[in-house]
Amino acid sequence: MLKSLGAKTLAFPAPAWAVGTYDENGKPNAMLAAWAGLCCSKPPCVSVSLRSATYSHHAVIAQKAFTVNIPSEEFVKEADYLGMASGRDEDKFAKAGLSTIPSELVYAPIITDFPMVLECKLVHTVEVGLHTLFVGEIQDVKVQEELLDLNGHLDTDKLKPVVFGPGSRHYYGIGKFLGKAFSIGDEIRKK
């Protein structure tokens, strides 16, 4: 029997994405965001929701761009720190030992230590209660070459992305391979 838990943010899993921005002085910053996801395939877009109180919120609006840097399990501590500190108060990259380079396509930093990045141009801003939902059109996806399979596709097992459990406030790795999408359901469809 299903038990009601009330209206809560308990969608699983949530990504653990580091949203990269430049402030008004060109200083790179990043914050960890879990209220995020893919939101359109054509044009390719992602959404991230940030509270207006965050330093990154103002930078996304000012620069009309951001990067989505996807940490691997190896960098879970550094990613968590990015969500705990404010770029207003300290240089998060120096303290975490992370490096950045500028994106060539949008005015936002790329965290070179993380294995994957989406470079996004801001196309929509929607106020949703406590958060602002930013929709970014993906200009390019860059990934460390060794994470690609023989067909040039991203291998999730090699990427080892971090996901967030909103209720427990825990980080997790991705579980085992279950089957090929749009294929394993054929057995039921053919009945």
Query: Residue 53: phi, psi to the nearest 5?
Result: -75, -15
Q: Thinking of the domain 14-190, which architecture would CATH place it in?
A: Roll (2.30)
pLDDT in tens, 131-161: 999 999 999 999 999 999 999 999 999 999 9
How far is CA 105 from each of CA 11, 43, 57, 130, 175, rounded to the nearest angstrom?
A: 32, 16, 20, 30, 33
How do the domains of the chain map onto residue ranges?
A: 14-190
* pTM for this entry: 0.93
pLDDT in tens, 39-49: 999 999 999 99
Can you tell me the mean pLDDT for 69-75? 97
